[in-house]
A = this chain, B = another copy of it.
Amino acid sequence: MIKAGIVGGTGYTGVELLRLLAGHPAVDLAVITSRGEKGARVSELFPNLRGRVDLRFVEPDDAVLKGCDVVFFATPNGTAMKSAPTLLKAGARIIDLAADFRLRRVEDWEQWYGMPHACAELLAEAVYGLPEVNREAIRCARLVANPGCYPTAVQLGFLPLLEAGVVDPQSLIADAKSGVSGAGRKAEVGILLCEAGDNFKAYNVPAHRHWPEIRQGLAAVAGGAVDLVFVPHLTPMIRGIHATLYATLTESGADLQALFEQRYANEPFVDVLPPKSHPETRSVRGANQCRLAMHRPRNGKTVVVLSVIDNLVKGAAGQAVQNMNLMFGLPETAGLEQIALLP
Q: How far is the CA of A287 from the CA of B19 in the complex (A)?
A: 12
Interface string of A214-242 (1 = CB under 8 A from B): 00000000000001011101011111101
Q: Across the interface, do B205 and A339 meet the contact criterion of CB distance under 8 Å? A: no
Q: In this complex, what residue of B is CB-closest to A173?
A: B246
Q: Which of A264-303 contact B (CB under 8 A)?
A: 271, 273, 276, 278-287, 291, 295, 297-298, 300-302
Q: How far is the CA of A303 from the CA of B19 in the complex (A)?
A: 34
User: Among B51, B185, B341, which residue has its beta carbon within 8 angstroms of that of A48?
Assistant: B341
A113 at the A/B interface (Cβ < 8 Å)? no
Q: Across the interface, do A278 and B193 meet the contact criterion of CB distance under 8 Å? A: no
- Known: A278-B203, A338-B338. Is A237-B306 also a contact (CB below 8 A)? no
User: Among B179, B281, B301, which residue has its beta carbon within 8 angstroms of that of A201?
Assistant: B281
Residues of B within 8 A of A198 (CB): 198, 237-240, 282, 285
Q: Which of A308-338 contact B (CB under 8 A)?
A: 308, 337-338
Residues of B within 8 A of A195 (CB): 185, 193, 343
Q: In this complex, what residue of B is CB-closest to A240?
A: B200
A52 at the A/B interface (Cβ < 8 Å)? yes
Q: Across the interface, do B202 and A242 meet the contact criterion of CB distance under 8 Å? A: yes
Chain B nearest CB: distance from A28 CB in Å? 17
A114 at the A/B interface (Cβ < 8 Å)? no
Residue from A206, A239, A302 whose CB has the most chain B CB atoms within 10 Å: A206
Q: In this complex, what residue of B is CB-closest to A339?
A: B19
Interface string of A1-32 (1 = CB under 8 A from B): 00000000000100100010011000000000
Residues of B within 8 A of A206 (CB): 276, 295, 297
Q: In this complex, what residue of B is CB-closest to A284?
A: B48
- Known: A177-B177, A200-B281, A238-B194. Is A339-B49 also a contact (CB below 8 A)? yes
Q: How far is the CA of A23 from the CA of B22 in the complex (A)?
A: 17
User: Among B235, B238, B291, which residue has its beta carbon within 8 angstroms of that of A47?
Assistant: B291
Residues of B within 8 A of A298 (CB): 207
Residues of B within 8 A of A63 (CB): none
Interface string of A140-182 (1 = CB under 8 A from B): 0000000000000000000000000000000001010101110
- Known: A197-B193, A283-B48. Is A205-B278 also a contact (CB below 8 A)? yes
For this complex, 13 residue pairs linking A to B, each with C-beta atoms less than 8 Å apart, are A19-B339, A48-B283, A48-B340, A173-B173, A173-B246, A185-B194, A193-B196, A197-B197, A198-B240, A199-B237, A207-B298, A229-B297, A230-B297
> With A198-B237, A286-B286 given, can you name 7 additional A-B contacts, CB distance below 8 Å?
A12-B343, A51-B271, A180-B193, A197-B237, A198-B285, A199-B240, A229-B300
